[in-house]
Amino acid sequence: MDFELWSRCSKAVQEAHFDHFVLLLESSKFKRFNLKQRLAKFSPIRKLLFVLQTEMYSHQMAPALIQSLTTFLRHHFSADAAIKPVISYLAANLHEGGTANSSESVPFLTPCGIEDVMEVSPMSSVSKLDKTNRREKAEQVLEALVHILATPSLLTKFVAALPLSRVLLLLLGEHPSPVVAAQILILLNLVLYSSPSFKRKFELVSGWMVLRTILPAAWDPSVHVAAFDLLLGRVYVAGRPPPSGPTNILCPYIFPTILSSLHYGLERVVTRARLPNPYVNGNANHAMNGYSRGSGHGSIYSHDSYSVSSAMEVLVEELSDLHSSTAGFRELFRSKQTTFLYLDACRSFVTKLGDVPHLKERTERLVGKVSNLTLMLALDNAVDGNQKREVSLLEPRCFVFR
């Protein structure tokens, strides 16, 4: 368990060392004895979390480190030995400034950082903290954690150990990357599957409003899939077959977030369409300067206009498919607020594109798909009469650019 010593070996030896934990904890007939009587007394999860925060191992060894951590978590998933240290590590490393405010948000969390050096390993004080890859490694740990929480027994322990609604918001942060946003939605989906009453608990801490405010800037294909899985109750639980059967709306609380993401994405499409051609086709980084700031690490809004337009096309297509195939989805538009959110997004989109002389083919294609969805709503009896008139007035304007 002296990782400082093993880190000085060759890469092949390091890999064999980490593989040996799988043998001790999963393959050996003495695996229970190995964990309870031998390894547990060394606080292996805390050690591994500390090692992840240092430059002790090369970045190439991070997957092996995280695999070993996952193995320990799967077999030693207690509140004090595993759950709280992992959440503390994630709070300290997922976001800029996480260490400073994590303990304020969740009082029992003490970031697993330099304060724990002497407790974790007497030799680790010579190791430097890794400030370059800490966020990427924390995202991988979050993905591993969410993956093992698909096991119902582990999820039950996790829910019992934490003030979960606050922890979800803590891990989400103010400017999450798409990876973090998608994983929080997946975890939220798992929790709601096991405890439907959590919708109300999450609402009491304004969680749904926070998602509506924060998620649009992090929207990407993975967030799209996670958001619609949550909306439709598609949950992938370990030991159970993949979800199938008719589509139903099981979590309407997430729908305003989806519409807000549509609004945000359409605004980005307009921004790109109104930029002079040399900026769009020339220096892409310069073109996006000032328009994607704060949009989240790796999100579609830090890429070219094709990515944004394509993401919004997929989003509008999925909304259209649900409208034509799912009665429960159409019922969502009985809410005036829901219809207003859609109207607000489309009104801004078509109005601002009105003064753009030449639209690119993909932008025109997006306009056409927005037009089709708007027409479907204009003919929908679920929409309020006054708002239906607004939709009817809006819809023909979508064809001005064609």
pLDDT tens string 216-255: 999 999 999 999 999 999 988 876 776 766 678 999 999 9
3-class DSSP state of 239 = coil
Residues ≥6 apart with Cβ < 8 Å to 224: 311, 314, 315, 318
Residue 244 gets the label, from left (phi > 0), alpha (psi -120 to 50) or beta, of beta
CB hemisphere CA count around 108 (13 angstroms): 13
Backbone angles phi, psi at 14, to 5 degrees: -60, -45
> What's the longest Cα–Cα distance across the chain?
74
Q: pTM value?
A: 0.85
In angstroms, rounded to a whole number, what is the distance separating the alpha carbons of residues 317 and 230?
A: 18
Q: Report percent pLDDT > 90 for the chain.
A: 54
CB hemisphere CA count around 114 (13 angstroms): 9
Quick one: pLDDT at residue 383?
82
| Confidence band of 294 (pLDDT split at 50, 70, 90) | very low
Q: Tens digit of pLDDT for each residue in 43-70?
A: 999 999 999 999 899 989 999 999 999 9
Quick one: pLDDT at residue 306?
52
* For residue 285, pLDDT beyond 90: no
Partners of 324 in beta bridges:
none
Residues ≥6 apart with Cβ < 8 Å to 101: none
* For residue 135, pLDDT beyond 50: yes
Quick one: pLDDT at residue 353?
78
3-class DSSP state of 207 = helix
Quick one: pLDDT at residue 357?
67
Quick one: pLDDT at residue 98?
52
In angstroms, rounded to a whole number, what is the distance separating the alpha carbons of residues 26 and 22?
A: 5
* For residue 282, pLDDT beyond 60: no
Q: Report percent pLDDT > 70 for the chain.
A: 79
* For residue 284, pLDDT beyond 60: no
What's 86-120 look like in SS3? HHHHHHHHCCCCHHHHHHHHCCCCCCCCHHHHHHH
> Quick one: average pLDDT of 181-192?
96
244 versus 327: the higher-pLDDT residue is 327
306 versus 39: the higher-pLDDT residue is 39
Identify residue 149 by its one-letter amino acid code: L
Q: Tens digit of pLDDT for each residue in 2-36?
A: 999 999 999 999 999 999 998 899 888 998 898 88
307 versus 292: the higher-pLDDT residue is 307
Quick one: pLDDT at residue 377?
86
In angstroms, rounded to a whole number, what is the distance separating the alpha carbons of residues 291 and 308?
A: 12
In angstroms, rounded to a whole number, what is the distance separating the alpha carbons of residues 127 and 160?
A: 35
| Confidence band of 103 (pLDDT split at 50, 70, 90) | very low
**Quick check: 135 and 128 in contact, CB under 8 A?**
no
3-class DSSP state of 358 = coil
384 versus 357: the higher-pLDDT residue is 384
Report, in angstroms and rounded to the nearest whole number, the Rg of the chain calculated over CA atoms.
24
* For residue 124, pLDDT beyond 60: no
Lowest-confidence pick of 75-79, 115-119, 159-163, 336-340 = 115-119
Average pLDDT taken over every residue of the chain: 82
Number of H helices, E strands in the chain: 23, 0
Tokens at 99, concatenated: 């260490």
